[in-house]
Amino acid sequence: MTLLPSPYRALIIGSSGTIGSAFIELLQQDPACTEVVGIHRHSEYPIDYQQPESIEAAAKALSSLAPFQLIINTIGVLHTKGWMPEKKLGDLNSEQLIELMKINAIGPALSIQHFSKLLDLKNSIMATLSAKVGSIEDNRLGGWYSYRASKAALNMLIKTAAIEFGRTKPNTALIALHPGTVNSRLSQPFRGEQIGRPALDAAKDMLQVIQNLGKADSGCFLSYSGEKLPW
């Protein structure tokens, strides 16, 4: 039995990004979705992972619109103007490690803490975008130390929270979701335009996975294809 009810209301965290905006567009076209709300750094209720206090503030501001049956967090960072993913151990530096942990692990974990209070206790799903390169078992190429470590940390935080949800929110599924390579600013330096696919296609694939989730899927790490990925 699928967990996402029909009709449902959705919240997209990071709705100004490439994948976030694609989810907004897709959900606005879904007749089962009666309302979709998007938040980002410059929205009416701003959320900025550089300012952790904004996470709780945004969740509290949106509490009057609750409950939501679907929350999707699309915020993440791979590189900036200042640095790129490390190719070797010698490239490792504390500033980059701290920055990616803050954006890719700490911010999403605090989002689960605060925004899960807005979920419908009857039936709901909260999906956080992770990345296959965060899989320890699947790591065969090495490199990308900070990004891999931050996504592996995120996966552990999601898995741990899902175990707690099993006791406190038994009708909620909490998952880590790998979007694949998407044509975006994040993937552009890595031949994203050649090997990636349009963000709307990626959002459609991920929404199909979400629509097929059941209670037993909570705490899973899933690919956009529905494949269960190793931690």
- 122 pLDDT higher than 80: yes
Q: Specify if 228 maps to a domain.
A: no
Per-residue model confidence (pLDDT) at position 81: 78
Count of the separate structural domains present in the chain:
1
Let me know if residue 231 belongs to a domain. no
- Is residue 3 in some structural domain? no
pLDDT score at 186: 56
Rounded CA separation 169/162 (Å): 9
CB neighbourhood size of 220 (10 A): 18
Residue 13: pLDDT over 50: yes
% pLDDT > 90, the chain: 90
Residue 74 sits in which domain range?
Answer: 8-223
Residue 192 pLDDT greater than 70, yes or no: no
Q: Which of 80, 157, 169 is nearest to 119 (CA)?
A: 169
Question: b or e along 2-27 (b: 16 or more beta carbons within 10 Å of the residue's beta carbon)?
Answer: ebbeeebbbbbbbbbbbbbbbbbebb
Report residue 82's pLDDT band, with 50, 70 and 90 as the boundaries.
confident
171: in domain: yes
Answer whether residue 175 is part of any domain: yes
pLDDT in tens, 209-224: 999 999 999 999 999 9
Domain assignment present for residue 139? The answer is: yes
Does 1 map to a domain? no
Q: Is the pLDDT of residue 32 over 60?
A: yes
Q: Is residue 82 part of a domain?
A: yes
Measured in degrees and rounded to the nearest 5, phi and psi for residue 196 equal -90, -175
Residue 30 has pLDDT above 80, yes or no: yes
Q: Which of 47-51, 83-87, 200-204 has the lowest average pLDDT?
A: 83-87
User: How much of the chain exceeds pLDDT 70, in percent?
Assistant: 94
pLDDT given for residue 187 in this prediction: 46
pLDDT at 93: 92
* Calpha distance 222→203 (Å, rounded): 14
Instruction: Indicate which CATH number applies to the domain containing 21.
Output: 3.40.50.720
